[in-house]
Chain A
């Protein structure tokens, strides 16, 4: 069994966090959530749209015992993000919030200045803050210092499935963080999830790689095992890499003696 994940004082068995976007239906989302074993899910907050009926998502997920992490997606400034966080707190009765501020619509890269500003205010207001950021070790340290509950550096742009393009920066963040590091965005395959956890990330967040899969239940299961494999490997300790071969069997000596 792997160690438990602890986020904002709460314990979890799974190190996979799921996003709830892009699923074909509420039923697909619920089935996927169940199959993945995820215990934390993110969601957004928007003005109600009476012309577009959307499936109920809160109760189906809380019925599975899932902890909800509302995000501030759609916010372009710290002010909007703080407002969205406070609305979500009222809507869900949770003080958890994923601060997500990406005014750039092409790459959806997070705005570091607005993110830091929003996080400062929300931490002071008693929120448990999980900021989505570029894999910037300096920003990660600043966010930790102001009291964020974790940092969520990206692997590659949201929905791009490019994997851990920011690997070298993630290594620096992980090596120096005293809060959990949750690799978020761009995870394209279960192997990316395992890799991030092998590197020492505390958790991984995945949305598109599961939701856009041809078989969301099967892919959810793949990620369930990937997060477990990655964490167990990290706890066991990976073998050191070598630039040359290191034999694992004494074959050469045996053969020479037999041929005399």
Chain B
């Protein structure tokens, strides 16, 4: 199964991979992170139960330095 990660990178993932699991695999399950799935923001409370599907577009954001 394949998803598009951050608009440009295609990634192969296992069936039934949740957003939580994906973030954990990429060392992104931490403070200051937000996620949009197919353009819609996903609430943190829903990371565990949101399962990724084939051709989903997943964008992961984090807080960075800025003025």
Q: Interface residues, chain A, CB within 8 Å of chain B?
A: 19-23, 29, 42-48, 50, 54, 56-59, 68, 70-71, 73, 83, 86-88, 90-92, 158, 205, 207-208
Contact = CB atoms under 8 A, between A and B. Distances in A.
Q: From B26, B31, B61, name the one whose CB has the most chain A CB atoms within 10 angstroms.
A: B61
Nearest to B31: A58
A45 B41 contact: no
Contacts of A68: 63
A19 B66 contact: yes
Contacts of A44: 63-66
Interface in B22-67: 26, 28, 31-36, 41-44, 59-67
A87 B60 contact: no
Nearest to A86: B41
B12 interface: no
Interface of B: 6-7, 26, 28, 31-36, 41-44, 59-67
Given A46-B62, A48-B6, 17 more contacts: A20-B66, A21-B66, A22-B65, A23-B65, A42-B67, A44-B63, A47-B6, A47-B59, A48-B28, A48-B61, A48-B62, A57-B32, A70-B63, A73-B66, A83-B36, A90-B41, A158-B67
Q: From B7, B32, B59, B66, name the one whose CB has the most chain A CB atoms within 10 angstroms.
A: B66
B65 A45 contact: no
B34 A57 contact: no
Q: Which applies to chain B's interface (DSSP): helix, strand, loop or mixed?
A: strand
A100 to B, nearest CB: 9
7 contacts: A22-B65, A22-B67, A23-B65, A29-B65, A43-B63, A45-B62, A87-B34
A45 B36 CA distance: 13
A81 to B, nearest CB: 14
Contact of A20 (B7, B32, B67): B67
A57 B67 contact: no
Contacts of A42: 66-67
Contacts of A46: 61-62, 64
Nearest to A18: B67
Contacts of A45: 34, 61-64
Contacts of A22: 65, 67
Contacts of B61: 45-48, 87, 91
Nearest to B6: A47
Contacts of A88: 34, 63
A158 B65 CA distance: 15
A52 to B, nearest CB: 10
B42 to A, nearest CB: 8
A42 B63 CA distance: 10
A57 B7 contact: no
A88 B31 CA distance: 11
B26 A50 contact: yes
Contacts of A91: 32-34, 61-63
Given A59-B31, A92-B32, A48 B63 contact: no
B33 to A, nearest CB: 6
